[in-house]
Amino acid sequence: MVSNMKLQDKVAIVTGAGRGIGRAIAKNFASEGAKVVINYSKSEKESQSLAQEIKNDGGTALVVKADVSKPNDVKELVKKTMDEFGRVDILVNNAGVLIPARFLDSTEEMWDMTIDVNLKGSYLCSKEVATIMLDQKKGKIINISSVCGLVQKTALGNTPYVASKAGVIGLTRSLAVNLGPTINVNAIAPGVIDTDMVSFFTPERMNVIVDETPVKRIGKPEEIAAAALFLASDESDYITGEVITVSGGRGMR
Ligand code: NAP
């Protein structure tokens, strides 16, 4: 029987998949037939429950603990994926941290942690899967950036975070050039999405954000997952090095 699932039998690693946007991406991919590797660094319970949900729906999932900023952890993450499934077709570099601080209040520690997870983590994971995907003659890498890495208006707060997300866009373009034509590398720039990451925003700040958003609401993790599914599927084979903004129009260019 021919399946019309978009990711039938593909193997997808989603970093930081226990919570938030990563969780929605992993669920969406599994519902389209992918075997999903659920990576986490702290959220073990949430990750195991997601794997159970996927299995209950007839899907396949593997849970792997790894801090994406640590090269040995990343090596283990990819090794465990290869040991279990024998291939990697899709990598979503989703794991991220946001430590609230404006430039003058930020510290070197905040800078290092943010760059290490958001930017270096994406570099390390991409490097680890790239040779496998090149050998397989196809692959998709999707990096989760942010509108704040693209658009001046949204770049006021959280300087290390903004720098890391702008860096992710540079990384995306460089990888697209270096890994083409075999591997497509694209980024998604979400606007404000309803997850734990933005739970520290005050109601006043949220009101301003909604007011600035043509769609007049913040986004849902599933709306980022829908864009990730497109970039992971064969439907986007002629797109590489691009950034897709999913922000309800906030910060449009
Ligand atoms: P979230 O709910 O806070 O989730 C962050 C995820 O990153 C968690 O699953 C966390 O896993 C994981 N993570 C953090 N450090 C890690 C590490 N060292 N190694 C592996 N995983 C790690 O935030 P979210 O909104 O879903 O964020 C997902 C991505 O979207 C991030 O890259 C974020 O910057 C980006 N983004 C979010 C928004 C937004 O408005 N929410 C907007 C633009 C971009 P553990 O709990 O296991 O540590």
Q: What is the pLDDT of residues 50-71, one digit of tens each?
A: 999 999 999 999 999 999 999 9
- pLDDT of 130 reads 98
The helix/strand/coil state of 182 is coil
Looking from the CA of residue 190, the nearest atom of ligand 1 is 43
- pLDDT of 121 reads 99
**In the structure, what pLDDT confidence band is assigned to residue 107 with cuts at 50, 70 and 90?**
very high
What spacing in Å lies between the alpha carbon of 2 and ligand 1's midpoint?
Answer: 36
- pLDDT of 238 reads 98
Checking if the pLDDT of 93 tops 90, the result is yes
Is residue 161 annotated as part of the catalytic site, yes or no?
A: yes
**In the structure, what pLDDT confidence band is assigned to residue 114 with cuts at 50, 70 and 90?**
very high
What spacing in Å lies between the alpha carbon of 18 and ligand 1's midpoint?
Answer: 9
Token representation of residue 139: 């692959």
Percent of the chain predicted with pLDDT > 70: 99
Return the beta strands (E) in the chain as ranges: 11-14, 35-40, 60-65, 90-93, 139-144, 183-190, 243-246
- pLDDT of 101 reads 83
Q: How far, in Å, CA of 178 to CA of 200, rounded? A: 38
Which of 77-81, 98-102, 149-153, 228-232 is predicted least confidently? Answer: 149-153
- pLDDT of 155 reads 67
Among protein residues, the one whose CA lies closest to atom 8 of ligand 1: 16
Q: Which residues surround ligand 1 with Cβ inside 6 Å?
A: 15-16, 18-22, 39-43, 67-69, 94-98, 117, 144, 146, 190, 192-193, 195-198
Per-residue pLDDT reduced to its tens digit, 151-184 = 877 766 789 999 999 999 999 999 999 999 999 9
| Active-site choice (40, 123, 161, 238) | 161
Q: Which domains does the chain have, with CATH numbers?
A: 11-246 (3.40.50.720)
What spacing in Å lies between the alpha carbon of 67 and ligand 1's midpoint?
Answer: 12
What spacing in Å lies between the alpha carbon of 198 and ligand 1's midpoint?
Answer: 10
Q: How far, in Å, CA of 251 to CA of 21, rounded? A: 20
Checking if the pLDDT of 143 tops 80, the result is yes
Per-residue pLDDT reduced to its tens digit, 225-237 = 999 999 999 999 9
Looking from the CA of residue 43, the nearest atom of ligand 1 is 47
The helix/strand/coil state of 193 is strand
